[in-house]
Each structure stands twice: as C-alpha cells, then as structure tokens.
Amino acid sequence: MMLRPEGSYDALTDGFTWRIPPRLNMARQACFDWLKEPDRLAIIDLSGDRRDDVTYGQLAAMARGLAAHLAGQGVARGDRVAVLRAQDPWTAAAHLAIWSLGAISLPLFKLFGPDALSVRLGDSGARHAVTDVEGVRLLRDLGVTAHVPEVLHLADADLSPVDTGAEDPAVLIYTSGTTGAPKGALHAHRVLTGHLPGVEMSHDRLGQRGDVIWTPADWAWIGGLFDVLMPGLALGVPVVAARLPKFTPEAAREVIRAGGVRNVFFPPTALKMLKAADLALPGLRSVASGGEPLGAEMLDWGRRAFGLQINEFYGQTECNMIASSAGSLFPSRPGCIGKPVPGHELAVLGPDGPLGEGIEGDIAVRRGSASMMLGYWNRPEATAESVRGDWMLTGDRGLWEQGYLRFVGREDDVITSAGYRIGPAEIEDCLLRHPAVALAAVIGVPDPERTERVCAHVVLKDGQAVTEADLQSHVRTRLSAHLVPREIHFETALPMTVTGKIIRKELKRRANPKGPVA
C-alpha cells in the first residue's frame, strides 16, 4: 500500500513521499511481482455464462504467451498496440503483455465506430491490436493486424518483463473529445504508482482483508483501467470483470452479489440511475465516484442506500486521482470534491499565482505528480498550453473552502449572467433534489441583456410530471433568484460521452445552432 494503514489525513499527507524506483515496469508491478503467491486470486470473471476465477499465476501465463506471440509478429519496444476488448481477463493480460515488451498499450472502447477507431489508430500509428472476434470486424480495413487470444495457439513462454524506466512511455489514452478532436495523453510506467494513493483513499484504504473491487466503467477508459483494474491487481485485491451490455440497477446488484464485491467505483450516471430506481445496495465497504460533482442530495441518498459515505474523487485523463474524499479520514462537504490526495499538490490559480480561500480560479496540479502525463502524443503545442510555470492546468474552475476543493465547472461551462459567475453544478444538484427529476444539465445561452441566461435541461423519472414553474420555484426557494433557470426544457435523454459525462457543449449547440459554441 502507498498509504500507511493508520493515521489522520494530515499525518498521511505530511509524511508522504513517492516511492518510485528508477527502473519500473507496470507488468511486473501489477502481476509478476505477485508470482510469489501464484494461487492468489487476481480476477473474478463474470463476463461469460459462469464465474471463472483467475489467479496471478494464470494471468501471468496468459500475458507471457501473448507477449511471445506479439514479439514473434514484430512488436518491439515503443510500438503502439491497441487493446479493443470489453471487461475480461484477456483485456488485463493484453496490457500486461504489451508493457512487458516495452511497447505502449492503446486502450480502445468497444462501442467506438469506424471513424472514432480510425482517428485514434491513425494518430497513434498503431499497427497491431489485441481484440476479440467481434472486434476483428470493427478493425477490418483500418490497417491493423488483429490478434484474438482465444483462437491463437499460445505457447508457454518463460518471458520476464523487459527492463524499463519509470519515465519510459507505457500507455496512450485518448480523451473523450467533447471539446474538439481527441488528444492522446501519453503516460509513463510510473502512472500506476501515481494512482495508488487516490484509489486507496477513495476506498477508505483499499486493500483490507476481504476487499473485492468492481466498476461498471469500461476498462478502455482511465477510470476503469487505472482507478480499478490495475490498482486492484497491484494491491492484491481481486477485481471483478463483468461485461454488461447495458447498465441497469438490477444488473449491478447481481454482479455485486455474484462477485462478492465490497468496493465499487460508480460513475455519477450509474449512481443517478440507482437513485432513480431507489435501489439499496447494503453490504459494501466503500463506494467511490468521479467524473462530475454529486451534490448534497446524492450524498444523502448514498448514506441511506449504502449505509456509508460516497467518496468523490477528482482527476482527468492527463493527471488523475489528485483529490478525493475519504469517509474514514474526514467528513464530506456538500458541493466539494474533497482534499488533495497525498503526493499531489493542488492550487487554485489566478493571473498572478495561487489564490487564497474562497476565490475562484483555475484548478491546477504542480508538476511532479506521479500520475501526470508525459505530454500529448504528437502535440507539443497542446502540451505547452496545458502548463503555466510549475503547474499543469486542468481546464476546470474551482475554489478552496476550509481546506476542501470546490468544483465550480469546466472553464467553458461557467455561466456569466447579469454580472454573476454561475457554476452549473449547484443548480443541477438542486434540480435533482426534486422528487420528479432523474437527470439535469444546466448551461448558459446567449442573452442580449444578461450576457447569458441560465437554461436547464431535465429528464423526469418514469411516470412523473412537473411544470417549468414548479422547478423554477424549487430552485428559487432553495438557492437564490439569480440562479433560477430562465427556461427549462424537458428531455427524454441527455447527450452523454461514452464515459457517462453530460455533453453540455452539445446542448449549447442545440440552443444556438448558427452561432459559435465556446
């Protein structure tokens, strides 16, 4: 474990130092170092028709055989190799095999269409992909050689991971591209170590006896791959693999039961669906969430549904797991993400440097954080734009509130209305407190008098009805008159990224189809 098994938040932070050896390979860290206990449970596979338990010994053998095959096909150090699979043991083995060769893995989402795959494969220069039978059809005509482990005759191989440095490139993860063309964040072998303190903290010291972790988030994204899969393996915590064609509260409950899950990372959208279904899931030891602020109403519901505090965490593809809540260390503060994770120094920046308590600015993380990217692939200009002095800018706005980080919104999501700067999260949380509302998204639309006016898009729960005036009154009485949406649109669904984040930019485009969208 990166965090000591006891101590207060202040003690953990003050006494924390990164323990990153100069020579490091993530395949060894996540799997091969555990071969002293080859029968230890690594993955609980629920992706098929029955449960299959995969030990570290078996996982290492899978990775070694696949690595030998890829090496025989010419894959060498520094080559990019795509992984286009859902949650299953071969997905984990593929990344381990690629890293053990000193190559760079490129996780890809199974629901991508040909255009999205072509952009990422073309930009990365990947010429090989580890996939499944279905993935072969997706990759056809895209210029890559597809390798399906299940149909290959993989020989036993006594391969050990090659010698790599902690700063050597290991994984290339593309952003979801909601604000332009997707950019590839290139990470080094130290990125797994950089995630561990935040993963441990958000799960109230993950690694306790009996812990078993799962997420419905796809392992193609940094949230699934480095918030759950690889940290679980590195910490010796069994990871559940479950291929859900579609997330439903009932399916989640069955996975938790069948896998003996005690620790879950639920994206905010999944939590909102659970809340809308009023489904309680007792017996969990920790529930973490990240991607968008949850708000007081969701946190209150979580205490009732899970019997514990949902720990929110914060980060992004470029530098992840840098702030978190932790119910075992300090109480949550509604509207705030949490506190900086040990090892990551955060600031709220103004034009002249870090700002004090209560002043809104740009959220930034000091360079040197172990989970920080090496840079954007083939985009030195974009990399330079993300840095201000010793700080990497997140593109988010926030402020400090009694030592907690309050998230205001993406820089381009903050609404300027009648002289007020308004973050959408607070209004969305208020709307979600209304018993008829299932989902809510708030944007600013151009207004000749106010610069922008507050506009809300809501999805109602099945069988519920409510008027625009009712919701406006709900916000006015609970927040403030200047935060009341001037218009409310009732939707059947909201535009979402594949990782479950609301695409506010698409809502802005719909509101102003002929004008520019910030």
| Residue 178, pLDDT above cutoff 60 | no
b/e sequence 303-339, b meaning 16+ C-beta within 10 Å: eebbebbbbbbbbbbbbbbbbbbbbebbebbbbbbbb
| Residues 66 and 200 placed together within one structural domain of the fold | yes
| Residues 421 and 375 placed together within one structural domain of the fold | no
Q: Which domain holds residue 425?
A: 412-511
| Residues 284 and 366 placed together within one structural domain of the fold | yes
**Which residue did the predictor score with more confidence, 135 or 246?**
135
The model's pLDDT over 11-50, given as tens digits with 9 standing for 90+, comes to 999 989 999 999 999 999 999 999 999 999 999 999 988 9
CA 128 to chain centre: 25
Structure tokens at 336: 């705030």
Q: Length of the chain, please?
A: 518
Residue 135 lies in a domain: yes
| Residue 518, pLDDT above cutoff 70 | no
> Domain with 15 in it: what CATH number?
3.40.50.12780
The model's pLDDT over 297-343, given as tens digits with 9 standing for 90+, comes to 889 999 999 999 999 999 999 999 999 999 999 999 888 999 999 99
Residues of the chain with pLDDT > 90, as a percent, come to 72
Please return the burial class of 170, using the count of CB atoms within 10 Å of its CB with bins 0-12, 13-18 and 19+: buried
Residue 516 lies in a domain: no
Which residues pair with residue 400 across a beta bridge? Answer: 405
| Residues 402 and 429 placed together within one structural domain of the fold | no
| Residues 398 and 422 placed together within one structural domain of the fold | no
| Residues 310 and 439 placed together within one structural domain of the fold | no
| Residues 261 and 293 placed together within one structural domain of the fold | yes
| Residues 149 and 282 placed together within one structural domain of the fold | yes
Residue 1 lies in a domain: no
| Number of domains composing the chain | 2
> Domain with 494 in it: what CATH number?
3.30.300.30
| Residues 175 and 282 placed together within one structural domain of the fold | yes
Residue 445 lies in a domain: yes
| Residue 417, pLDDT above cutoff 50 | yes
CA-wise closest residue to 262 among 314, 218, 207: 207
pLDDT for 176 equals 60
Could you tell me the pLDDT band of residue 177, with boundaries at 50, 70 and 90?
Answer: very low
